[in-house]
Amino acid sequence: MALIVQKYGGTSVGSTERIKGVARRVAKYKAQGHQVVVVVSAMSGETNRLIGLAKEILEQPDPRELDVVVSTGEQVTIGLVSMALMAAGMKAKSYTGAQVKILTDSAFNKARILSIDEENIRTDLANGYVVVVAGFQGMDEDGNITTLGRGGSDTTGVAIAAALRADECQIYTDVDGVYTTDPRLVPEARRLKSITFEEMLEMASLGSKVLQIRSVEFAGKYKVKLRVLSSFEEEGEGTLITFEEDNKMEQAIISGIAFNRDEAKITVRGVPDRPGIAYQILGPVSDANVDVDMIIQNVGVDGSTDFSFTVHRNEFAKAMDILKNQVQKHIGAREVIGDDKTAKVSVVGVGMRSHVGIASKMFRTLAEEGINIQMISTSEIKISVVIDEKYLELAVRVLHKAFDLDQEAV
Ligand code: ADP
Ligand code: ASP
Ligand code: MG
């Protein structure tokens, strides 16, 4: 007998028919003698709908109240899934995040899980129940409802699996695993049988939204066995997220290509080249809770330099405002310019550690298509470039091909 946590995303619970499908799958696992905890998202489109409603009232919704609104999506699905399980002859019980006691910090809209009280779930499982937990939500110390950021149900799934020391956490979604790149953009993308935590972490943080980054962090930290699977197929092994040392197979040099359309670039020009400048530029930005991604500072010439960085497109206007109105004059910079029509493309692979020439191959491939690289950043296992958004699709396709990731035509 194993303890399995199954997380179902929005499309997988997108209709009552699909919800009945979830119940059928759970029944199969129960019949094999396993204990099952189900974690669910809101029905597809629901979270966006709720955010839309909030914005009709307040253009910048109050963060606490927004969480009160958006957390309702998951509350609906836990009730419906529990009923579907009952209809299929199982004992089932639903829990909101607060009912479990998924304790989070108070960062509304992007809260972090601090602890999970798993006692009641254990008791229910021992008594033969399937336990159904609302993804994406928790409660802070003062009893406020919080949510974990878009895609946060993945993190709930993995965190519950970690708390229960589950044998496996299965992430059911609308694709049958993790692909070499988003199969919606590149039909030639291939499913990976396995991918290392490190690579998955990079892919997720560089824009592959198949798993929320925090879920991968959790799985890595607590050694949760994590698998991504399709909820639409009966069979299939999906993609297993592995530790590198377990992955004895011959490693491809590049495992995947991630991209992110939400990138906006800001350049502060003519910045005095002296100690403390980076802090004076980025301090006020970070004080306003704007996350900064790639950062580049030029080599100074004649005592001045240029300083560029990227932020999420949603926060572009806010960051520009801070720089123009608080920072520019203060540090004596010449001008602040911005471009919110940029995108980031990254190649990821642990094989990069032992192979040289990956960066030059990437740059040559882009050059051959006339794609200008605006910014570059590298780590041991990834190379990212910022380019004009209009070349994003082309860039991903040509890199996918150049690094031999295309599926062979059948
Ligand atoms: P869910 O609602 O089940 O959480 P998501 O939409 O959050 O589903 O994540 C699944 C989607 O992630 C897929 O439909 C796919 O378009 C996208 N995706 C992006 N990059 C990848 C990738 N490398 N492999 C698989 N899917 C990816
Ligand atoms: N329903 C939330 C969202 O759409 C959480 C999730 O689906 O993981 O972001
Ligand atoms: Mg998701």
pLDDT at 355: 84
Considering the four listed CATH numbers 3.30.1490.20, 1.10.10.10, 3.40.50.300, 3.40.1160.10, the one that applies to the domain covering 3-174 is 3.40.1160.10
The ligand placed nearest to the CA atom of residue 12 is 1
Per-residue model confidence (pLDDT) at position 224? 96
Coarse DSSP helix, strand, coil percentages of the chain, rounded to the nearest 5 percent: 40, 25, 35
Amino acid at 192: L
Does the beta carbon of 9 lie inside 6 Å of ligand 1?
A: yes
Contact 166, 222 (CB under 8 A): no
Q: Does ligand 1 lie within 6 Å of residue 374's CB atom?
A: no
Measuring CA to CA, which residue among 43, 46, 36 is closest to residue 13? 43
Model pLDDT, residue 376? 94
Give the pLDDT band (50/70/90) at residue 17. very high
The mean pLDDT value for 278-307 works out to: 91
Residue 344 has pLDDT above 60, yes or no: yes
134 CA → ligand 2 middle, Å: 10
Tokens 């601090």 locate to: 114
Q: Which contacts (CB < 8 Å, 24+ apart) does range 324-332 have?
A: 326/284, 327/268, 327/280, 327/281, 327/284, 328/268, 330/280, 331/271, 331/272, 331/277, 331/280, 331/281, 332/272
Atom of ligand 1 nearest to the CA of 151: 7
Nearest atom of ligand 2 to the alpha carbon of 149: 9
Ligand nearest the Cα atom of residue 148? 2
CB 132 within 8 A of CB 95: yes
Ligand 1 atom with least separation from CA of 173: 3
pLDDT at 294: 92
Distance 364 CA to ligand 2 centre (A): 38
CA 365–ligand 3 middle distance (angstroms) = 31
Q: Which atom of ligand 2 lies at the shortest distance from residue 151's CA?
A: 8
- Mean pLDDT of the 160-189 span: 97
Residues with Cβ within 8 Å of 56's Cβ and at least 6 positions away in sequence, in order, are: none
User: Which range has the worst mean pLDDT, 69-78, 190-199, 332-341, 347-356?
Assistant: 347-356
Whole-number pLDDT of residue 92: 98
Residue 250 pLDDT more than 60? no
Which ligand has an atom closest to residue 11 CA? Answer: 1
Helical packing angle, 16-31 and 72-87, nearest 10°:
60
Q: How far apart are the first and last CA of the chain?
A: 40
How many Å apart are CA 298 and CA 154, to the nearest integer?
39
Given this model, what pLDDT does residue 235 score? 87
Q: What's the pLDDT score for residue 247?
A: 53
Cα–Cα distance for residue pair 102/118, rounded to 1 Å: 9
Cβ-based neighbour number of residue 140 at 10 Å: 19
Percentage, residues of the chain above pLDDT 90: 89
Ligand 1 pocket check for 185: Cβ under 6 Å: no
Rounded distance from Cα 139 to ligand 2 centre (Å): 17
Mean pLDDT of the chain: 94
Distance from the alpha carbon of residue 317 to the mean position of ligand 1, in angstroms: 28
Of the pLDDT bands very low, low, confident and very high (cuts 50, 70, 90), residue 222 is very high
Is the pLDDT confidence value at 324 over 60?
yes
Ligand 1 atom with the smallest distance to the CA of 8 is 3
Closest ligand 1 atom to the C-alpha of 171? 3
The finding on whether 173 has its CB within 6 A of some atom of ligand 1 is: yes
Residue 121 has pLDDT above 80, yes or no: yes
CATH topology of domain 257-409: VC0802-like (3.30.2130)
Both structure tokens of 379: 């780590």
Q: Whose CA is nearest to atom 5 of ligand 1?
A: 210
Establish whether residue 260 lines the binding site of ligand 1, counting it when its CB lies within 6 angstroms of any ligand atom. no
Cβ proximity of 38 and 22 under 8 Å: yes
In this prediction, residue 409 has a pLDDT band, given cuts at 50, 70 and 90, of low
Q: How far is the CA of 293 from the centre of ligand 2 (A)?
A: 23
Q: Which residue is closest in CA terms to ligand 1's atom 21? A: 182
Cα 114 from Cα 136, distance rounded (Å): 14
Q: What confidence score (pLDDT) does residue 182 get? A: 97
With contact defined as beta carbons under 8 Å apart, do 51 and 66 qualify?
Answer: yes
pLDDT score of 116? 98
Please report how the helices 392-402 and 358-368 are oriented relative to each other, as an axis angle in degrees rounded to 10: 130
User: What pLDDT was estimated at residue 351?
Assistant: 87
**Domain ranges (residues) in the chain:** 3-174, 257-409
Around ligand 2, the residues with Cβ closer than 6 Å are 9-10, 41-42, 47, 73, 135-136, 150-154
Give the pLDDT mean for 18-39: 97
What does the alpha-carbon distance between residue 75 and residue 55 come to, in Å, rounded to a whole number?
21
Atom in ligand 1 nearest the alpha carbon of residue 208: 20
State the pLDDT at residue 328. 93
Q: What is the pLDDT of residue 410?
A: 46
172: β partners = 8, 229
Strand order in the sheet with 256-260: 256-260, 342-348, 382-388, 375-379
For the chain, what percent of residues have pLDDT higher than 70? 97
Closest by alpha carbon to 37, among 16, 17, 22? 22
- The ligand placed nearest to the CA atom of residue 173 is 1
96 has a pLDDT exceeding 70 = yes
- Predicted confidence (pLDDT) at residue 214 exceeds the cutoff of 90: yes
**Residue 400: HSE in the Cβ half-sphere, 13 Å Cα cutoff:** 23
Ligand 2 centre and the CA of 41: distance in Å?
6
What average pLDDT does range 148-171 have in this prediction? 98
Question: How far, in Å, from the CA of 136 to the mean position of ligand 2?
Answer: 6
Confidence band for 251, pLDDT divided at 50, 70 and 90: low
